Amino acid sequence: MTRDTKHRSPLGSGDAALRFRSAGEALAEARRLNRIANWPVLVEGKRDKLALSVLGFAGPIEVLNRGWPLERLVAYLYETYGPRSPDGGPSICVLMDWDRTGGRLQNELRRRLEGMDVKISEALRTVLMKALKPETRVVESLRSMAHELGPFIDEYDADLED
């Protein structure tokens, strides 16, 4: 059974299905690292955290908006997760919204964390920004898109197990 016949998307064929497949694969990879390696994902708020939980993220999800100054949050992330993951890769995934405010936050967090030699991953945000921009510009909307994204995420997980 080919990958295309294994899954029939309610999105149909074409551009939307390809974009959602790309987003699903990126989410599945981040979810796998989050679960298996306790790789933290930093999001803006509680609704973003809930959206990732609905998509099956079971590892640490850190929230930016917790009433702390940015300096304190960056220090906390450094102390809790260190500058590098045990395998030498990024120690944290930074996933801010892909709207104007989210872009500013992403840039400021990158600058501050890299200034403390904390290696971050922005790959998930980059893929979601390109794949889902027509439908949404915010992480919290992933919750309402779980029905469409879930099969792609699960398909990618199944491919990893094979």
Which of the four pLDDT bands, split at 50, 70 and 90, describes residue 136?
Answer: very high
Which of the four pLDDT bands, split at 50, 70 and 90, describes residue 14?
Answer: low
| Domain presence at residue 30 | no
Q: What confidence score (pLDDT) does residue 145 get? A: 95
Q: What confidence score (pLDDT) does residue 159 get? A: 66
d(CA 107, CA 18) in angstroms, rounded, equals: 28
- Count: domains in the chain: 1
| Domain presence at residue 44 | yes
| Domain presence at residue 81 | yes
Eight-state DSSP code of residue 66: S
pLDDT (tens digit, 9 = 90+) per residue, 35-62? Answer: 999 999 999 999 999 999 999 999 999 9
Q: Residue 156 above 90 pLDDT?
A: no
Provide Rg for the chain, Cα atoms.
16
Q: Residue 104 above 70 pLDDT?
A: yes
Q: What is the CATH number for 122?
A: 3.40.1360.10
| Domain presence at residue 20 | no
Percent share of the chain, pLDDT over 70:
88
Eight-state DSSP code of residue 42: E
| Domain presence at residue 48 | yes
| Domain presence at residue 104 | yes
Q: What confidence score (pLDDT) does residue 162 get? A: 56
**Comparing C-alpha atoms, which of 20, 41, 49, 55 is closest to residue 135?**
20
Provide the domain limits for residue 88. Answer: 37-154
